[in-house]
Every structure is written in C-alpha cells, then in structure tokens.
Chains A and B, each alone.
Chain A
Amino acid sequence: MKPLTKARRDDIHLLFDPPGPRARRRIRIATAVSLAVFAALLAFAVRQFAAHGQLDADQWRMFCEWPIIRFLLSGLGQTLLVTAVAAALAFPLGGIVALGRLARNGPTRALARTYVELFRSVPLLLLLYVFLFGLPGVGLTFPVFWQLVIPIVLGNAAVVAEIFRAGVLSLPRGQTEAAYSLGMTHRQTMSGVVFPQALRAVSPALVSQLVRLLKDSTLGYVVSYLELLHQAKVLGEYYHAVLSTCLVAAACFIAVNSALSGAASWLEARRA
C-alpha cells in the first residue's frame, strides 16, 4: 500500500508507470541532452553579456556601495508602503462591495454588481490615466501618492469583492439557515456567522491578491512615484547600466512576491 500513497502525493507518477530499464536509459539520455542544451544556452547568454560589456565591473560594482543600496531599499520601502496602504483600503472596500452584492435590496445589488463589472474590465493603466490626466482637467488634482493608490484600490476592490463573495457562497447553506432559525437578523447572520467563516476560507486568496497589488504598485513608474521600478530606471539611466539595475529590481520583486506566494500556499495547506 505504501508506494501508492507516496505516488498519490506526487502527481508526476500519474501519467506513466515507474520506468523500466529501457525507459530509464532513455530518461538518462534525455537528461544528458537537456543538460547540454541548458549549458549551451547559458554559454550563449554569458557570451552575449560579455560581448556587450554587461559583465564589466562598472556595471555591477555600484550594487556593493551603501548609498546605492540605500537608494534601492528606499524604493522597495515605497513599493511596500503603496502595497500596504492599497491593501488596507481595498480589502475593506471589497468587503463592503461584496456585502452589497449579497444584499437583499435590489438596487444595492445592482449598484454593487455594476461597480464590480466596470472596475474588473477597465485596465488599471487607463484608470491611472484618468487620475493623472482626466480629473486634473476638471479641477481635481491628487498628490502623486494618491494618484497611484486610488486607482489601485478601486480596481482591486472589485476583485477582492468577488473573492469574498465566492467565499460566502462556498459556505454550506445550513449555516445561514441555522442562524435565521436562532432568530438572528440578516445583519447579525452576516457579521456573526457568515463573514467570519468566509474570511477564513478566502485568506489564502487574499494573500495571493497581495502579490497582484505589489505588481500593480509598479505603475508608480508611470506617475513618476519613487517606487522600486522607477528608482531602478533613474539609477540605470544615471549610471548607463539599465540592464543590470533592471535585473536587480526584478530579482527584488521576484523575491518579495515568492515569499507572499509561499505564505499563501502555506495558509492553503494548513487549512486543508
């Protein structure tokens, strides 16, 4: 029984039998060939970097100097700040919109639905341009930070609302029915019984949403807000090292987002 349970955890073995001697030889050959191909690709990349002077010390030395590191870290700090503020506003707003979509009052439902459909189908950059070029035209100008954060909040609240709604709908009907039969009102049922359980159910999805918020914060590049991508661009142009600074910034983003994705799957696994 033991090999089966091990295989069950391992979806690699779903599609083929444990390889026999001949298949094992083929796999060994394929492994060698693929390693050779990867080595060739790596060699090509290194040659291309070296041929264009991208491996020179002056392209990379600056990342060992504290002022530069501090400059990039301040960008990362701003990125995290935008993400945190946007999350702190978008999650409650999304919760309210979700409540609206689940309300018993027809017009409230229609309003919330329109909000979700509209803001889910407008690209964030267009929304950002509205705040950057559109609203100043009619006399509404926000500080740069809010020009970046408000569109992110508006767009993501719609997605968060759908996450909450899915969480509420995934609860067994009996929960609501039991609450009603105990004499609870709709409001008490929602706040005391349904929402707390839905929140636990969707917590991994909310953490994954943080990844998206962090990605959206790179739009600071467009409004010239000094977050990590914009800082990297400025630095790269100043030192004529666009590629290396971009690669460093990309590595930072991937590191932070991987940590968030990891936290999401850890939450998911703990719940199961």
Chain B
Amino acid sequence: MPYNPALVAPMREEMVRLGARELKTVDDVDGALGDQQGTMLVFVNSVCGCAAGNARPALRLALEHAVLPQQVVTVFAGQDLEATARARQYFAEYQPSSPSMALLRNGEVVHFVHRHQIEGRSPQSIAGDLAKAFDKHFGAGAVA
C-alpha cells in the first residue's frame, strides 16, 4: 500500500530540486527508458529515513561533479508502484532494493548502486563513489 502522499512529498521535492525528472507512470518510464540514448541516472527513491536520507544528499553532492549523466530521472518505490516495477524491468539483472541507483548508457546498465552500498555511509562517501562511476562510464574516455 502506498504511503500517505503528504509524507513523501518532501522526498519527491528534494529530488526535483536537484534536477531529477519524476517518472510516475508506466508510460513515463517507457518514455524515458525505452530506447534510451546517451547517459542517464535512475534514482529509486525510498521513504527509508536513514538510507534514502543519505542517498538523496549524496546524489546532490555527486551532481556537483564535472562529469555528469545527461539526464537524471526518479521513481518512488513503495509509492509509484507500477512505475517502479516497470523501471526495474529495465535493470532486471539486479535484484530490487531501495534506495538504489542505476547508471545507464545507451540503454545498458553500466553501474548499479544497491541499498547495501548506501547503508551506514555518509553522503560524502557515497557521492565520491558516484563521481568515480560518472568519470568511468560517462567521461570522455568512456567507451560508447
């Protein structure tokens, strides 16, 4: 059962403020991820105060890096159920967890950040790993 919209509104707004486009429906997801070109980060948002509470600030810090994904999109696990399930079909090789992040390049998942890689870590530490992944997969030297 989805959470009270009022409860999750600040968590949605935090993502929108940092430039993420919300995908709330299956059509939204297919429009963004179907035939995806270029580079993209998909953030699977969560109400978990501790894990997601560090993941969102981590993404904000990572988005200050020089190398960035061309698009940042987000689905909300436990809230936009169908959209989240659909998004996960695009990275079905990875077991679902939230929060989590998928880095895509031309429709291929090139890097995945699971919840267990977020738990108990500082936003700065998570952001540092994300920046390295941006450099590796989205930088000038990355293989197209």
**Physical interaction between A and B:** no
Which residues does B use to contact A, with CB under 8 Å? none
